[in-house]
Structure 1
Amino acid sequence: MKTLTNLFDGFDRLDTSINRWLVAHSIALLRIGMGLVFLGFGLLKFFPGISPIEDLATRTTTVLSLGILSGHDAMNFVAGLETAIGICFITGRFLRVGVWLMAAQMIGAMSPLLIFPTELFPGPLHAPTLTAQYIIKDIILVAAGMVVASTWTGARIVAKPQSLRSTLPKRVSSVEPSLESA
Structure 2
Amino acid sequence: MSEHYTLNICGLTRELKKVRVAPHLTIASFVMLGDTQLIERTADALLEKIRALGQIDMLVCPEAKGIPLTHALAVRMGVDYVVARKSVKAYMEHPIVEETKSITTSEKQIIVIDETDAAKLDGKRVCVVDDVVSTGGSLHSLEAVLAKTGCTVVSKVAVLLEEGGYDGKDLIYLDRLPVFKD
- TM superposition score category, shorter chain reference: under 0.3
TM-score (norm 1): 0.21
Q: Which has the larger radius of gyration?
A: 1
TM-score (norm 2): 0.21
**Which of 1 and 2 has higher RCO (CA within 8 Å, sep 6+)?**
1
Higher helix fraction (1 or 2): 1
